[in-house]
Every structure is written in structure tokens, then in C-alpha cells.
Amino acid sequence: MKLTRRNVLGVAGASMATGIAGCLGSNEGGNGNGNGDGSDLPEYHRWLTTDSNGSLSYVYVDWNHLSNLESGNQSTSNATTGSQSDPMLGLPITGMMAAAFVVGFGLSAYGLSGMINYSQSGTETDETGGMNSKSDAMLSTNEAIVLTGDIDAEEVDGILTAEPEGFSLSKQYEQTDEIGDYAVYTPVNEESSEAIAVSDGALVFTSRDDITEPVDAVRTPIEAAAGETERATEANDDLKWLVSTAGHGHLVVGGYGESFEPAAESDNDDSGDNVSDLGSGTQDEFNMEYTELETVDSGVSSLTFDDTGSQATGKFAAILGDGNASALEDSLGSSAAESSVTVEDGRVTATATWDSIN
């Protein structure tokens, strides 16, 4: 099956059909991303930068909460229907599913699949691969993916520099550069779009196969996190408002600028359909299949879950274009038990609460 954005929507629905509590995270001790009242920025914002066109597209996933979720047997027909009709539910869940594909394939290419535990309640599975290094959160942004956590740099170095045995998706890498505290690796005797930077607290690697300057692609978020490159939330007041208002949560999808041009206006008829495009600065990520979002120029949508994964709160913030916002007002939070939508001065904000996602 071709891995496209539309197929990911189907996979997300299939995952929910087996019990949404099986793949969504706990809220024990808060989400570690600020208080969510718009007065501060989530921790991940320090990695965010805009591209040469001033655009940004990103997905944030808190893996730690996903893996610690309590199990449960739930009927998810309403959740599936709700996600198809309500962008506040569907966008973050779809972003999470797409991110799982992109990161899974990316880590396989480096032989590091064991860094993320996809099982619930932290149960060790074959997928963990016995690695000491573990990721607790990920951020897919423009040309790079950032995995934060407890990283054993020596362990990762040994895996990257080892010659693959038998059939393997991974290659042999060598250290070719340094960026601050990060060792940078590229494929041995090969020019490619791949580069991975390793430190004790994070991995940063390229997210697409069309990147011409892979070392620069990983350098940008690393230097932004260190305060050596201007961050997106520093360069643009609208982006700061979007991220601080709706960017706190366990699952977050957001974007700004050209990423929000309707697909019909793209020169590439397949723009936005490839899973790897989501969160990597291309067009049509945010509006997905929701035609009402064609009125949105930029936006952020997030979900935060309780420790069972059945109850959730959502936040949405967007900057409107020239279109009529009435359809958007009707759809935001339409599947929730309680919701509130405000449109004022070309900006829309919404909050929603789901008492039971089942």
C-alpha cells in the first residue's frame, strides 16, 4: 500500500476501532508543555524555525504519555465519526499516526528502531530492541525530526558505525562533523539526503529524501534550541500567539505560511499526500480533508488526555484568510461534550472537552 496522507487517515480510524485507549497518552503530572493558558510557550518551541519562505509545519507527540496509558476495552465508533467531522479531534490524532510512520521509517534507516516503545503501559516488546537509549517525545519540523530523551551517545555511535549484517534498511555511517555537543553522522562513501546528530539529550535527523544539505537541515533546529539561531516564535508574533495559545498538549499539529495554501493552488497535484510531507513544510498538511479549513492561513491544534486516554481537552488557534468562517465555527468541537469558539479580529480560538472518546 502506498503510504499517503489519505491512507494514514484510514490507519488512524482502524487504530481507533481497536480502542483509542491503546494508543493515546496519560496526563499524570501534567503534559510537561506549560500550563496551556496562552501565557507561556511549550518547551518544544525552542526547536522551531521557519524556512526560507517564512513557513513552518510541525507535529509534536509526547511518546512518554502514549506508552504509559492505561489499557481499556472501548467502543470507538463515535470517536471515529467524530474525528472525521471535527478537526479538533481528527487533526492531532492524524498527525500522531503520520508521525509514527515517519519516525518509524526514519529510525529503521539508522538501525535505531528500539528507541521508541509503541506498546501501552510501558510493556517491553520486540520493537524496543533492548536499547538503553529511549525517546520520550518527538517533534517533526520542516526538514528535521527531533527526538528528545535519555540518549546513550556511545550506544548510538556503535549502532550507526557498525556494518549492517544481512538484509537491513539501515546503512553504515561515520562521524563527519560536530554541531555544539552533537556528533554528526552521514553515510559512509555515499552522498545522500541523510544526516543524524547525536547528543546525550536528543537525536536530530533529516525527515525527507529530497534534502540537498542534510547537515544544515539538522544544524538549524539544534542551533535554534541553543539560542544561536532565531526561533520561529521570536521572529513572528502571529506564530508566537498560535503556539502559546493552542500548542500545549500531548498531540500537537501546527503550521504557518505557505503550508496552508489549498492543494488546488499547488503546481504539484500530489502535494501533501505523502506521509513524509506532514510536518515538513509542504502545502496542505493542516487542512487535511477538512474543506472548512481552506479559510485558515495558519493554525495550531492540540489534544491533552487524562490517564485513561478516554477523556480529552482540545485547543485550536488560527489566523483567518479571506473566506467565510461560519463553516469553521460549526465544525470546531462539534464532536465534544462541551466546546467554545470565538472569532475576533481575524483570529479564531476554540476549546473543547470530550468526556468520553468512545
Q: How far lies 187's CA from each of 107, 152, 194, 288, in Å?
A: 14, 20, 7, 34
β-strands 347-354, 56-61 pairing: unpaired
Rounded average pLDDT over 325-330: 89
Residue corresponding to grid cell 487504530? 15
Size of the chain in residues: 358
What does the pLDDT look like over 231-281, one tens digit per residue? 999 999 999 999 999 999 999 999 898 655 443 333 444 433 333 344 443
Helices (H) and strands (E) in the chain, counts: 9, 12
As a whole number of angstroms, the distance between CA 334 and CA 185 comes to 47
Spatial contact of 286 and 254, defined as CB atoms under 8 Å apart:
yes
Domain edges within the chain: 5-125+232-354
Handedness of CA 103, 108, 112, 113 (dihedral sign): positive
Q: Which amino acid is at 184?
A: V
Confidence label for 224 from pLDDT (cuts 50, 70 and 90): very high
In 10 A of CB 159, how many CB atoms? Answer: 19
Statement: residue 21 has pLDDT above 90: no
On whether the CB atoms of residues 90 and 290 are closer than 8 A, the answer is yes
Can you give the pTM of this predicted structure? 0.80
In order, the DSSP letters of 13-76 are HHHHHTTGGGT----TT--SS--SSSSS--GGGGG----TTS-EEEEEE-HHHHHTPPP-----
pLDDT single digits (tens) 83-108: 568 899 888 888 887 777 788 888 88
